[in-house]
Chain A
Amino acid sequence: MKLILDLIKKITGNEIWKSVFRHGYTDTPRNRVLQIISNVWLHLHPAKVREHGTKIRFTWCMGGITFFIFLFETITGILLMFYYVPDVNRAYADMVDLMYVVPFGRFLRNSHRWGAHAMVITVSIHMLRVFLTGSYKPPRQFNWVVGVILLVLTLLLSFTGYLLPWDQLGYWAITVGTNMARATPFLGHEGPFSYILGMKPDNDVRFALLGGTVIEAPALLRAYVWHCIAIPIIGGALMMLHFWRVRKDGGISGPL
């Protein structure tokens, strides 16, 4: 017994250990605080929170789960990028390979796909919870605005991913979706008053989305770049803002 204790003391007492771990784990208020504020990942939290804010019946945990699924999607998405090339001649074959050849490829793709659907659901439930608790009220008005934009970005993330398999399902879903852009008032060539700005199929807002008049190679590349790079970066930046504002606006909302 003494030997073990000595060994522990040797391990946790030396310079290397201390350079990594800054505090002990004895259950003291000081260590509980340090556990949060001296940890780069955990210091997103305040050291102390109002008790009702830790209750699942109050928060439904939906905002946190949405963020977690975003991280889950990032990891599975990066792994999928190793096997997928956004080229119209290869994309579908890569999907088939993922489903039948790549070890755990099917599992990987399934979890990315279902995670995306789950994220849309959890983010919308999170919005419902925030509304029902009146958490958009002063001083949190602006954070609600950021949240609405993040909701839209979640939908766009999922939507841009829909085309990537380059199968009939994605192709026609994106056809239906982007055809709406044709009808944009003023800016789409079939929309009301589009003649004022001289909109044609090859210069309207749908053309800008697809990089062409039909869904072809440029549309696939655009969907890929938006999906894997642009929207995650914009969303990530807004998430930082969103979480930071939760803290700055007084932490989790609650009765005054």
Chain B
Amino acid sequence: MEVMEEKRGVIEFKDDKVFAWPTLVAKEFLAAILVTVGLLFYSYVVDAPLRELSNPGQAENPAKAPWYFLGLQEALVYFDPWFAGVVLPSIIIVGLILIPYLDINPKGNGYYSFKDRKFAVTTFVFGYVFWYVLIYIGTALRGPFWAFFWPWEKWTHDFPTPPPLHNLPLPLGIVLLGGFYTAGLILPALMKRDFFMKLGVIRYAITMGLLLTMIGTVIKMVFRLAFNVRYIIATPWINI
């Protein structure tokens, strides 16, 4: 207790402050100038795209959303629109919002550190990179009819017919999906008891639920690419 008090006192007296004028303001001003010059130079050299007048009768092929949504459009290959276009982005936004309330690790506050928060940094950076990888695929590697083309291939309408897809039998699908979430929730709790205890049941369940959904999204993509699986769970009402 005494040590804590003393430490706090030291922190309060530590003064590494500098005047905002001009140390900070000059840098900001310089940054603003550089950004302006950069933007104006780029605008001078490269024209913004403007295609023909819109024509509802003639669909663009491929019709692509703005690039920052192409990760989601790429996810449409693997999921139905209700998931790829609505539920997945909603989960991402809610998940991002919840981060400060789920990550209760007091270390790594206000400085760069991987060592102090391996789990948090790994998870976030994986998701961040994955988002941009999907955007890259959707932007650069998807041609007419959303067919896949390598960067060195020419986009044509004459691509081989993709192999037929099949659904998993419903009982197997339910067992797989249910088993995935059940095992994913229970096993880490048993194996990393202190992680579970620190977070508490609710925080742990939400954290793992979000993490499993992210991993599950990747696994579903692998299932599709490796085994031509269309749906893990196929019902008349909803397909996953």
Interface residues of A (CB under 8 A from B): 29, 32-33, 35-36, 42, 45-54, 56, 61, 64-65, 68-69, 72, 92, 95-96, 99, 106-107, 109-115, 117-118, 120, 128, 131-138, 140-142, 144-145, 148-149, 151-152, 155, 158-159, 162, 165-173, 175-177, 179-185, 188, 190-193, 214-215, 253-256
Distance in angstroms between the alpha carbons of A96 and B54 in the assembled complex:
13
Which of A99, A132, A193 has the most chain B CB atoms inside 10 A of its CB? A132
Distance in angstroms between the alpha carbons of A22 and B128 in the assembled complex:
48
Contact flags B104-141 to A (C-beta < 8 A → 1, else 0): 01111111110001001100100010000000000000
Which of A49, A168, A179 has the most chain B CB atoms inside 10 A of its CB? A168
> B residues within 8 A CB of A50?
16-18
> A residues within 8 A CB of B47?
99, 106, 110
Contact of A54 among B27, B93, B113 (CB under 8 A): B27
> B residues within 8 A CB of A96?
50
Distance in angstroms between the alpha carbons of A151 and B13 in the assembled complex:
37
Least CB distance, B102 to chain A, in whole angstroms: 10
Beyond A111-B39, A111-B43, A180-B86, is A136–B53 a contact (Cβ under 8 Å)? no
Instruction: Flag whether B151 is at the interface (Cβ < 8 A).
Output: no
Instruction: Flag whether B227 is at the interface (Cβ < 8 A).
Output: no
Residue of B nearest to A255 (CB): B111
Query: Are A141 and B100 in touch, CB under 8 angstroms?
Result: yes
Which of B59, B68, B96, B110 has the most chain A CB atoms inside 10 A of its CB? B110
> B residues within 8 A CB of A171?
54-56
Query: Are A168 and B48 in touch, CB under 8 angstroms?
Result: no
Contact of B59 among A48, A112, A172 (CB under 8 A): A172
Binds A, one of B29-37, B179-187, B190-198, B214-222: B29-37
Query: Are A148 and B237 in touch, CB under 8 angstroms?
Result: no
Interface residues of B (CB under 8 A from A): 11, 16-25, 27-28, 31-32, 35-36, 39-40, 42-44, 46-56, 58-60, 63-69, 72-73, 80-82, 84-87, 93, 96-97, 99-101, 103, 105-113, 117, 120-121, 124, 128, 237-238
Least CB distance, B185 to chain A, in whole angstroms: 23
Query: Are A42 and B25 in touch, CB under 8 angstroms?
Result: yes
A-B contact pairs, 28 of them (CB 8 A): A32-B19, A36-B19, A36-B20, A48-B17, A51-B18, A54-B27, A61-B27, A111-B39, A114-B43, A117-B67, A135-B109, A135-B110, A137-B100, A137-B103, A138-B109, A148-B93, A149-B97, A158-B66, A158-B68, A165-B50, A167-B54, A172-B59, A173-B63, A175-B59, A176-B63, A185-B82, A190-B81, A256-B109
> B residues within 8 A CB of A118?
35, 39
What 8 A-B pairs are tightest by C-beta distance, nearest first?
A: A180-B85, A183-B81, A141-B100, A171-B54, A110-B43, A113-B48, A172-B63, A253-B110
> B residues within 8 A CB of A68?
31-32, 35
Query: Are A137 and B109 in touch, CB under 8 angstroms?
Result: yes
Distance in angstroms between the alpha carbons of A92 and B113 in the assembled complex:
50
Beyond A49-B17, A148-B93, A166-B53, is A182–B42 a contact (Cβ under 8 Å)? no
> B residues within 8 A CB of A113?
43, 48
